[in-house]
Structure 1
Amino acid sequence: MRLNGLKDQIEVETCDLSGSSFEDVNLSGVLFHDVNLSGSSYSDINFSGCSLENLNMSGCSMSKANLSGLQMDDVNLSGASIRSCCLEGMTIDGIEVTALLKSWKAQHGDHKGS
């Protein structure tokens, strides 16, 4: 099925749209609930102002992302790797990360931790 130039709201329930392609589509204000997006690929996506809850992003990779102003609560970051990122103004439990890293490097040298 091909939808081109559709401007109406549609309701999609209990469908298998695996393998579908969406290009140049405005999905602002859309609600996704109980949706399996595993193995999906996203590029040039605007998620600004969105709310993401009860996510399973294990095994995902993210690059060239703007996460400024991001707020994370009750998030499992075990095994996460943060590399080559701007951390200015970032805090963890109220502690400024750049100051924390500066202190750690002063005590342990400027080599990268394992």
Structure 2
Amino acid sequence: MSEQNPDYLVQNEDFPGARLRDARLDEAEFQDVSLRNAAFNDTDLSGARFHDVNLSEIEMKNVRMVGAVIDHANLTNVAISNANLAGMTINGIMVTDLLRKWEDA
């Protein structure tokens, strides 16, 4: 059994299939945790920070990402559709300008 860290309430535990409803986990910290195939419905993740996280094959629908920052990301094969791109930039360039130039070409 690995050494316990007093900074963490729950360590080295398995909760497969756990279901939480009407729960508050504000300011919770998840480190070295598997949430594979987890579902988040009607969930407020505003202000969340994701560092060194594998988000491969995720599906996001009806997502609000106003003011989000994506940095040092591998976006290979990412598809964005039916999105409001107002004010969105890639490497400092307005996406709407890029799309307009592409459409005019």
Q: How many residues align?
A: 92
RMSD over aligned Cα atoms: 2.6
Structure 2 residue 77 is the aligned partner of structure 1 residue 64 = no
The one-letter amino acid of 1:75's match is A
**Equivalent-residue separation in structure 2 for 1:3 and 1:25 (angstroms):** 11
The corresponding residue for 2:13 is: 6
Gapped runs of 5+ residues in structure 1? Answer: 86-91, 104-114
Equivalences for 1:1-114 in 2 at 5 Å?
A: 2-9=9-16, 10-83=18-91
How far the C-alpha of 1:84 sits from its partner, in A, is: 7.1
Gapped runs of 5+ residues in structure 2? Answer: 1-7, 94-98
**Equivalent-residue separation in structure 1 for 2:64 and 2:15 (angstroms):** 31
How far the C-alpha of 1:16 sits from its partner, in A, is: 0.8
**Equivalent-residue separation in structure 2 for 1:70 and 1:78 (angstroms):** 19
How far the C-alpha of 1:6 sits from its partner, in A, is: 1.6
The structure having more radius of gyration, on CA atoms, is 1
Scaled by the length of structure 2, the TM-score of the pair is: 0.76
